[in-house]
């Protein structure tokens, strides 16, 4: 969705080709948006005019900030979604955009002529001419569903896969890999005795994801709020899994794909953490009126009879009924080091990729890549220069650079630890960092940029009004609200969110200044450009392995070359000498 919306905001006419129009927007797995690292992406998408944060706030039924006990740079606002309402909100946003046309068909072949995109051929023989194409196949590209001994074609339960496109991509010279993900069983809400579980209420006041809802007044959720519950597995459950690994497709070799390390199947948890006596589960409602509960932390592809037994051995779920069994899905993805930092395929002008096909996992990562790819597709179609998001300026840049420079060995998930500039990239500063850029790209209207400037003008003015005395008290640990009430000359205090942002800017000023110096050192390496036409085979002293890696990624700077796995300091010195000589000749 973000790819289509971004392209339309930039000014392109967009055809959104989908297998099933009725399934245009789905929360295929976890009914939540945001979280640690992921909320940073959502806030950046929002600062660039995207829809995910706005929609999540409108459909949110449980707001909670993760990592709150740690510093604000790693806070992760997370919003539980009403499973039915979120798709309605997003679809309404998409259908309200007059530049987007939705059409139901299966893309079968990418049409290319003279290394330039010409359009898409559908499975029914229809042809759709295009100046640029964004491929966003999710888990549908040659998708296969696994549950116990059964394997069926599908990209999601009850929905067919996209079968023909993989061969077309290989025909264009692109290398594909195979990843897998999974989902847990859904339980019938009325079959659970929630009195036996620890309740987990949402935050009061709730923290929204969109800056449109952080601006000024206290945010009031549109929907009634609910609670989630905490559950735990036990040794009996673990023994059941260990005794039946011969029935798990993960351990019988039937799934020939790599899954996400940071969101493993329950079988993997039991095997890899054999010393653990229990694992934490979250019982999350799938909506205010939805009859199912999502069991977060119990992703499994065990056969149905074992899933039944497993669930009922969990204390408090002895009478629980399974509404939908868990399963694993394996699918094709494009090796992302074949993509430029614009997400355009190297060697095919106008062909862009976003989402799981780039080797990622998660709604937020897919949406962020969609925004980058959609923006660049529209700019490519208009003959404009492409946008390369900067890893020192935004998490979008961190993700794109990680994928296209370092590649992936497993489905990529965003973490704050991936960034060199965590303090500068705090989620609450995304509008300050990116909204003006969004205006220059054609993504953000000027009145939205004015609101961001006004918000930060109020925050900066508050810091100035507190002065040196107030800053010293905040750094010593006094709550900024108490300091502001004491030092400001009467009147109404600024909104809590703006006070909290000012507090973070004051408390971490020394660290921010130190990080800024390190960022300048990194930027100097980024400014040393490597000639685009350089033949790495001609650089004396480079090993054959390093030449191959450099030729695959085609780094644009010494800084990017330094992030390629296996490129040594000695090799960087040789490249720097070549770059310096080229700059001298220019």
In this structure, which long-range contacts are made by residues 168-173, counting pairs with CB atoms below 8 Å and at least 24 apart in sequence? Answer: 168/108, 168/109, 168/110, 169/110, 169/135, 169/334, 172/110, 172/112, 172/345, 172/347, 172/348, 172/351, 173/347
Same domain, 282 and 308: yes
| Listed residues 299, 314, 330: the one ending a domain | 330
Confidence of residue 490 (pLDDT cuts 50, 70, 90): low
3-state SS record for 356-387? HHHCECCHHHHHHHHHHHHHHHHHHHCCCCCC
CB count, 10 Å around CB of 17?
A: 20
Give the pLDDT confidence score for residue 211 in this predicted structure: 95
Is residue 491 scored above 70 in pLDDT? no
Average pLDDT for 105-123: 96
Same domain, 475 and 574: no
β-pairing, 107-113 with 76-81?
Answer: unpaired
Confidence of residue 261 (pLDDT cuts 50, 70, 90): confident
> In whole angstroms, what separates CA 485 from the centre of its chain?
39
Of 335, 328, 299, 301, nearest in space to 410 by CA: 335
Of 329, 413, 379, nearest in space to 3 by CA: 379
pLDDT tens sequence across 3-30: 999 999 999 999 999 998 888 899 988 9
Cis peptide before 205 (omega within 30 of 0): yes
Is 168:133 a contact under the CB 8 Å cutoff? no
Is residue 584 scored above 80 in pLDDT? no
Tell how many helices (H) and how many strands (E) occur in the chain. Answer: 18, 20
| Total number of domains in the chain | 3
On whether the pTM is more than 0.85, the answer is yes
Same domain, 226 and 313: yes
Alpha-carbon distances, residue 85 vs 57, 61, 90 (angstroms): 11, 10, 9
| Listed residues 296, 330, 364: the one ending a domain | 330
Average pLDDT for 303-328: 97
- % of the chain exceeding 70 in pLDDT: 99
Alpha-carbon distance of 134 to 536, in angstroms, equals 30
Burial 533-545 (b: 16+ CB within 10 A, else e): ebebeebeebeee
What does residue 58 show for φ and ψ, rounded to 5 degrees? Answer: -70, -30
- On the CB side of 578, CA atoms within 13 Å amount to 23
Q: Say if 563 falls within a structural domain.
A: yes
Helix, coil or strand: residue 516: helix
Residue 586, Cβ density class (10 Å: 0-12 exposed, 13-18 middle, ≥19 buried)? exposed
Alpha-carbon distance of 515 to 260, in angstroms, equals 31
Same domain, 499 and 543: no
pLDDT tens sequence across 374-387: 999 999 999 999 99
Is 441:57 a contact under the CB 8 Å cutoff? no
Helix, coil or strand: residue 573: helix
Q: In which residue are the tokens 């070549």 written?
A: 578
Q: Say if 368 falls within a structural domain.
A: no
Same domain, 228 and 322: yes
Average pLDDT, the chain: 94
Is 358:343 a contact under the CB 8 Å cutoff? yes
Q: Enter the tokens of residue 436.
A: 């003006």
Alpha-carbon distance of 426 to 423, in angstroms, equals 6
pLDDT tens sequence across 411-470: 999 999 999 999 999 999 999 999 999 999 999 999 999 999 999 999 999 999 999 999
Helix, coil or strand: residue 340: coil
Same domain, 197 and 233: yes
Same domain, 248 and 323: yes
Average pLDDT for 95-111: 96
CATH number at 551 reads 1.10.150.570
pLDDT tens sequence across 492-546: 778 888 898 999 999 999 999 999 999 999 999 999 999 888 889 888 899 999 9
CATH number at 318 reads 2.40.30.260
Give the pLDDT confidence score for residue 583 in this predicted structure: 64
Q: Say if 452 falls within a structural domain.
A: no
β-pairing, 322-324 with 292-296?
Answer: unpaired
Alpha-carbon distance of 7 to 1, in angstroms, equals 10
Same domain, 324 and 229: yes
* Parent domain of 478: 471-514
Give the pLDDT confidence score for residue 487 in this predicted structure: 87
Q: Say if 104 falls within a structural domain.
A: no
Same domain, 242 and 321: yes
Give the pLDDT confidence score for residue 216 in this predicted structure: 65
Residue 218 neighbours by CB under 8 Å, 6+ apart: 205, 495, 496
Give the pLDDT confidence score for residue 100 in this predicted structure: 97
Same domain, 245 and 315: yes
Q: Say if 239 falls within a structural domain.
A: yes
Least confident range of 113-117, 160-164, 255-259: 255-259
Is residue 586 scored above 60 in pLDDT? no
| Listed residues 285, 304, 330: the one ending a domain | 330
Same domain, 293 and 193: yes
Same domain, 542 and 510: no
Average pLDDT for 219-232: 96
């Amino acid at each position: 969705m973000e790819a289509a919306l971004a392209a339309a905001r930039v000014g392109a006419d967009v055809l959104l080709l989908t297998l099933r129009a009725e399934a245009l927007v789905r929360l295929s797995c976890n009914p939540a948006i945001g979280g640690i690292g992921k909320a940073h992406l959502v806030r950046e998408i929002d600062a660039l005019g995207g829809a995910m944060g706005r929609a999540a706030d409108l459909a949110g039924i449980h707001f909670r900030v993760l990592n709150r006990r740690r510093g604000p740079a790693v806070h992760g606002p997370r919003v539980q979604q009403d499973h039915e309402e979120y798709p309605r909100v997003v679809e309404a946003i998409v259908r309200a955009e007059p530049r987007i046309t939705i059409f139901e068909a299966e893309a079968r072949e990418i049409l290319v002529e003279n290394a330039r995109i010409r359009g898409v051929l559908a499975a029914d023989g229809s042809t759709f001419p295009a100046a640029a194409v964004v491929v966003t196949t999710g888990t549908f590209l040659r998708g296969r569903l696994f549950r116990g001994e059964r394997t069926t074609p599908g990209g999601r339960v009850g929905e067919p896969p996209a079968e023909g496109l993989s061969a077309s991509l290989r025909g264009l010279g692109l290398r594909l890999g195979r990843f897998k993900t999974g989902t847990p069983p859904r339980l019938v809400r009325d079959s659970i005795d929630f009195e036996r579980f620890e309740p987990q209420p949402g935050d009061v006041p709730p923290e929204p994801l969109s800056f449109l809802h952080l601006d000024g007044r206290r945010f009031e959720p549109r929907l009634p709020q609910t609670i989630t519950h905490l559950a735990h597995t036990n040794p009996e459950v673990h023994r059941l899994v260990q005794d039946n690994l011969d029935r798990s497709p993960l351990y019988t070799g039937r799934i020939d794909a790599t899954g996400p390390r940071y969101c493993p199947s329950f079988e993997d948890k039991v095997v890899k953490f054999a010393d653990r006596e229990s694992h934490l589960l979250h019982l999350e409602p799938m909506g205010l009126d939805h009859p199912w509960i999502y069991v977060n932390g119990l992703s499994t592809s065990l056969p149905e009879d074992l899933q039944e037994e497993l669930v009922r051995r969990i204390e408090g779920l002895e009478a629980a009924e399974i509404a939908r069994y868990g399963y694993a899905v394996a699918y094709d993805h494009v090796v992302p080091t074949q993509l430029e930092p614009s997400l355009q395929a190297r060697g095919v002008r106008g062909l862009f990729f976003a989402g799981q096909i780039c080797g990622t996992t998660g709604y937020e990562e897919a949406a962020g890549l969609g925004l980058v790819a959609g923006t660049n597709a529209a700019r490519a179609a208009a003959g404009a220069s492409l946008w390369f998001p900067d890893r020192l300026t935004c998490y979008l840049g961190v993700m794109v650079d990680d994928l296209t420079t370092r590649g992936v060995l497993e489905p990529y998930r965003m973490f704050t630890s991936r960034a060199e500039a965590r303090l500068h990239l705090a989620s609450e500063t995304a509008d300050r960092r990116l909204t003006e850029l969004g205006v220059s790209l054609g993504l953000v209207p000027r009145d939205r940029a004015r609101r961001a400037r006004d918000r930060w003008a109020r925050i900066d003015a508050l810091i100035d009004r507190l002065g040196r005395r107030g800053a010293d008290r905040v750094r010593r640990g006094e709550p900024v609200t108490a300091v502001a009430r004491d030092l400001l000359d009467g009147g109404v205090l600024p909104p809590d969110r703006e006070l909290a942002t000012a507090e973070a800017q004051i408390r971490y000023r020394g660290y921010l200044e130190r990080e800024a110096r390190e960022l300048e050192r990194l930027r100097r390496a980024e400014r040393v450009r490597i000639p685009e036409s350089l033949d790495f085979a001609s650089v004396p002293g480079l090993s054959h392995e390093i030449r191959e890696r450099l030729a695959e990624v085609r780094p644009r700077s010494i800084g990017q070359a330094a992030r390629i796995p296996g490129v040594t300091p000695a090799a960087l010195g040789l490249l720097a000498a070549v770059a310096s000589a080229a700059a001298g000749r220019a």
